[in-house]
Amino acid sequence: MANLRIVVFVQGKNVIPMKQYIYTGSTGERPYFIYTPQNYQLSKAVPLIVMLHGCTQKASGFADGTHMNELAERYNFIVAYPQQLRAAHAYGCWNWFKPDNQERDSGEAALLAGIVQEIVQQTREWTIDKHRIYVAGISAGAAMAGILGATYPDLFAAIGIHAGIAYKAAQNVHNGMKVMRRGGPDTLLQEALISTAMGEHVRVMPTIVFHGTSDFTVAPLNGNQVVQQWMQSNILAAHGAYTASFLQPDTHVTGKVPGGRSYEVLTWNDVNGHLIQEYWKINGMGHAWSGGRGGSYTDAKGPDSSEAMYHFFMQQSIKDSMDHAISIGDVVHASFWSNLLHRAIRLFNEKKEEK
């Protein structure tokens, strides 16, 4: 780590100090901010949540709007906020639509993974539970969170995607804008992109998704596609332990924030009853962080997505997932390709019947 400085900003009535660091790796350099709870003790291993801002946002403003630092103080975990540079994108967006950034050991994916690995290695500052590292983001940051889940499943235990885009839904900025407005491609093997990116680390990736039904920046269809893509990838990776259907969630509840927005929550569990995917649809909400306050792109009338993400994440551990993969050994790898083939054939036949 280099160029440490203390950054102080106001969150509600509280003055919240964060430390800023500069990461330099083979694919570039980025600043990032760390929030450490005031009563944190180095002897205790704690979770790490990585938060990726959207376009035109700053890491400090994203921290303010999501109030994730307040949750870190309450529940005792570390939060990291990488910051995109205007030199990398004129509007400060993460370049999720560029092919180089969609692969392991390449581009911004490698850069962000490098930041996380650097944080874990700083054992004089923190003791991070390596089995409980999570990443979440909004908009372009959400798309990058999905990329990190696909390319570094050995690093992240679960992902949170708020108003995001399916993995590899676009390969350039023109297609990216089209996908944002109309949704991504719907092809037979779209679901295989994640599993292919995971390579030898292929496994089930628990995913929580939020999307507003009145989002005119990233169309709500994208929320459905994100859930469906990860669902099919997880089915392929689960070796029969996860047999979810998008149209038949295990639970489907509705609610309403007092004086605020109504919403739906859908969940899907594996055969052992463990929560794998969760999908929140917030009625009437636009392109904003649900339950956020202050900052930019927040909607205080929506349910608290930061709180919901935290509780979802705390049910997920990479150790549990990896232990399951190890227990079935080579059968997982062999069955993955067999499942993929049979799934492609079945979907092809379904498409024929529709015609």
CA 52, 275, 49 angle in degrees (round to 5)?
Answer: 25
Rounded-to-integer distance, Cα 56 and Cα 54, Å: 7
Per the DSSP assignment, residues forming a β-bridge with 116 are none
CA distance 163 to 141: 9
> Would you state the pLDDT for residue 5?
55
What is the pLDDT at residue 2? 46
Kindly report the pTM of this predicted structure: 0.89
Residue 1 predicted with pLDDT over 50? no
pLDDT (mean) for 242-268: 97
Coil/strand/helix, residue 299 = strand
**pLDDT in the model for residue 190:** 73
Q: Please give the single-letter amino acid code of residue 304.
A: D
Output the pLDDT for position 306. 98
H/E stretch holding 141 reads helix 140-151
Cβ neighbors of 110 (< 8 A, separation 6 or more) are 25, 26, 27, 104
| pLDDT for residue 205 is more than 70 | yes
Give the per-residue pLDDT at 350.
Answer: 46
Q: Which residues are CB-contacts of 48 (< 8 A; sequence separation ≥ 6)?
A: 77, 78, 79, 80, 116, 119, 120, 126, 128, 129, 132, 133, 134
| Domain carrying residue 145 | 2-354
Identify which has the larger pLDDT, 135 or 340: 135
Confidence of residue 323 (pLDDT cuts 50, 70, 90): low
What average pLDDT does range 221-230 have in this prediction?
96
- pLDDT value, residue 295: 83
3-state secondary structure of 347: helix
> Average pLDDT in the 134-147 region?
98
pLDDT at residue number 294: 87
Q: Which residues contact 137 (CB under 8 A, 6 or more apart)?
A: 51, 52, 53, 54, 94, 143, 144, 145, 160, 161, 162, 164
- 135 bridge partner residues: 50, 159
C-alpha to C-alpha distance for 351 and 183, rounded to whole angstroms: 19
Percent of the chain, pLDDT > 90? 81
Q: Nearest to residue 27, comparing CAs of 111, 115, 152? A: 111
- Checking if the pLDDT of 204 tops 90, the result is yes
Average of per-residue pLDDT values in the chain: 89
Q: What is the mean pLDDT of residues 126-150?
A: 98
4-18, 31-45, 327-341: least confidently modelled range: 327-341
Structure tokens at 240: 């029969």
Q: What is the dihedral of CA 96, 268, 288, 302, to 10 degrees?
A: -170
- Name the domain count of the chain: 1
Provide the CB-side half-sphere exposure for 268 (13 A, CA): 25
List, for residues 271-302, the tens digit of each pLDDT value.
999 999 999 999 999 999 999 998 899 999 99
State the pLDDT confidence band at 138, using cuts at 50, 70 and 90.
very high
Q: How many Cα atoms are found within 13 Å in the side-chain-facing hemisphere of 333? A: 7
Q: What is the CATH number of the domain that holds 330?
A: 3.40.50.1820
What confidence tens digit (pLDDT) does each residue in 247-256 have?
Answer: 999 999 999 9
* C-beta atoms surrounding 121 within 10 Å: 12
At 13 the pLDDT is 53
Statement: residue 12 has pLDDT above 80: no
Taking the C-alpha atoms of residue 76 and residue 39, their distance in angstroms, rounded to an integer, is 8
Report the distance separating Cα 217 and Cα 102, nearest Å. Answer: 22
- The angle that helices 173-182 and 221-237 make with each other, rounded to 10 degrees, is 100
More confident residue, 3 or 303: 303
What is residue 16's predicted lDDT score, i.e. its pLDDT?
Answer: 61
Asked if the model's pLDDT at residue 200 lies above 90, the reply is yes
In this prediction, residue 340 carries a pLDDT of: 56
If one counts every other C-beta atom within 10 angstroms of the C-beta of residue 9, the result is: 16
96-117 tens-digit pLDDT: 999 999 999 999 999 999 999 9
Cα distance between residue 262 and residue 303, in whole Å? 8
